[in-house]
Amino acid sequence: MKAIDFIKKVQNKEIDIIEHTHKVLEECKKINKEYNYLNTVSEDLAIKQAETVKKNPNGRLSGLPISIKDSICVKDVESTAGSKILKDYKPLFNATAVQKAIDEGAIIIGKTAQDEFGFGGFSTNVGLGFKIPLNPFDKERSTGGSSGGGAGLTQKASFPHLSFGESTGGSIVNPASFCGVFGLCPTYGRISRYGLIDYGNSLDKIGPMSKNVYDSALLLSVISGHDIKDSTSLNQKTEDYTQYLKKDIKNLKIGIIKEAFGEGVDKKVNKKIQEAINKLEKFGAKTEEISLKIPIKYGIPTYYLTATAEASSNLAKFCGMRYGAYEELKGNFDEYFTNVRSNNFGKEAKRRIMLGTFARMSGFRDAYYIKAAKVRTLIIEEYKKVFKKVDTLLSPTVPILPIKFNDISKLSIMENYMIDIMTVGPNLAGLPHINIPVGFENSLPIGMMLVSDHLKEGVLLQVAKEFDN
């Protein structure tokens, strides 16, 4: 059942929302035993919210179960960003996006598994003591990352459900692709970052994941908009994004990214994307090949320098004194600080702190961080030029099929980071992008990515609905 049909039933009191929420929580716990999608199931909160909805079922998301990435703050619910260093941290406030959903009657069912602070593309870099989420189609494979738990649960749940993901360099569309669901990363600033635990402030975005397009459009309509609590939030009116689903795609100009179909892309992925392109042409879209040079060639180093520099700065506040993990007070502050961080950050977090600190250190800053900032500007300029010619750009979301855990361990660090080849560009440029599930090969899902110009989320939804189920 689509979220919208479910919500109507709740509004008309055809569904006993308390009973339904109990069932949802039971299913979550059952799925979790097998797949590890949730770091926390927020039972008490969900039931309390169901009671509120029962009294007043008029909200636009009335009774709809929503899961939230662990890096997004939910009041009084452990919110760790998947890291041991934030263990037991229960925020005193809701992230703005979460609050907006609750105000419209959403029911928060839990916090989803992720790479620690979002540091990864496979959800395998989980914090110490956390469990790795497993692909809903094959438990020996990755869900993608870093919003892997949310994408997996969205695929597996039998009940109408939406998930809040977060993307810095691809973490919404990548897991959506590996789990066969829709994932929409909006324009930077479209949805408030207030209450999102920072990875890289100039890159982070919250966005919806869902089994069908309409539900993502609905959630985006509810949670986007200006927020005075986030100085980077765009001062733009909210839109009713569901309206775009009524538009056809006749004469819409789609640029097929030339560099996205070359070496390193699995043939099975290529084949499915080609079939999807044919379908779009049949519906009247005009396609043309577009070359995208700088984002593809320099996107990875530009992204990893920028993201790690910001991350290393953001993580400095986790020193065992304000919230989260702490150690016995021994030695001077430096010793204490080192101890807490050595014992509570995972391996990839440590790697990124070192890489990022190096990139912005005096003496190296010009060669790395500042250079990356300059290349980032070139990347934005190239996209802007392209969007004068076409409405949207098309490529595979991820160049490979959902990967086996066994094979991830064989990848070098560089190969590991290359998974983001298609997704870092739009993230560096703050451009909206979407994953559209376009079919299966070897019983594994394949995703297609569309990117559009700033604030043109509507175009993405317009095209995506042609693949709705």
**Which residues of this chain interact with ligand GLN, rule CB under 6 A?**
118-121, 146, 167-171, 199, 307, 420
- 95 or 106: CB nearest ligand GLN: 95
Give the nearest distance from C-beta 120 to ligand GLN in angstroms: 5
Residues 6+ apart with CB under 8 A from 427: 167, 168, 169, 170, 185, 203, 205, 303, 433
Query: C-beta of 307: minimal distance to ligand GLN in Å?
Result: 5
Q: Which pairing describes strands 253-257 and 286-290: parallel, antiparallel, or unpaired?
A: parallel
Nearer to ligand GLN, 21 or 142 (CB): 142
Beta-carbon contacts of residue 285 (< 8 Å; ≥ 6 apart):
249, 250, 251, 252, 253, 254, 463
Nearer to ligand GLN, 6 or 164 (CB): 164
Q: How far is the CB of 154 from ligand GLN (least distance, A)?
A: 17
- 168 or 233: CB nearest ligand GLN: 168
| Residue with smaller CB distance to ligand GLN, 121 or 180 | 121
Query: Beta strands 392-396 and 65-69: pairing type?
Result: unpaired
β-strand 182-185 against 433-441: which pairing, if any?
A: antiparallel
Q: 344: which 2 tokens?
A: 């509570």
**How distant, in Å, are the alpha carbons of 10, 161, 277 from that of 59?**
10, 16, 38
Please state, in angstroms and rounded to a whole number, the distance separating the CA atoms of residues 144 and 135: 8
What minimum distance in Å lies between the beta carbon of 74 and ligand GLN? 19
DSSP result, 435-458: EEEEEEETTEEEEEEEEESTT-HH
Is the CB of residue 452 less than 8 Å from the CB of residue 460?
Answer: yes
Residue 348 CB, nearest approach to ligand GLN (Å) = 8
List the strands of the sheet with 444-452, edge to edge.
38-41, 107-112, 65-69, 162-167, 205-210, 182-185, 433-441, 444-452, 392-396, 253-257, 286-290
Q: How near is the Cβ of 420 to ligand GLN at its closest, in Å?
A: 5
HSE-CB for 14 with a 13 A CA cutoff: 6
- Taking the C-alpha atoms of residue 150 and residue 156, their distance in angstroms, rounded to an integer, is 10
CA distances from residue 275 to 268, 290, 367, 369, 452 in whole angstroms, order as listed = 11, 18, 43, 40, 21
Which of 375, 392, 409 has the alpha carbon at shortest distance from 280?
392
Q: For ligand GLN, give the closer residue by CB, 136 or 165.
A: 165
Q: How far is the CB of 232 from ligand GLN (least distance, A)?
A: 17
CB closer to ligand GLN out of 27 and 166: 166
Residue type, 245: L
3-class secondary structure, 286: strand
Query: 227 or 420: whose CB is closer to ligand GLN?
Result: 420
CB of 415 to ligand GLN, least distance (A): 13
What are the catalytic residues?
69, 146, 171
Q: How far is CA 319 from its chain centroid?
A: 27
Q: How far is CA 31 from CA 37, 45, 49, in A?
A: 8, 19, 22
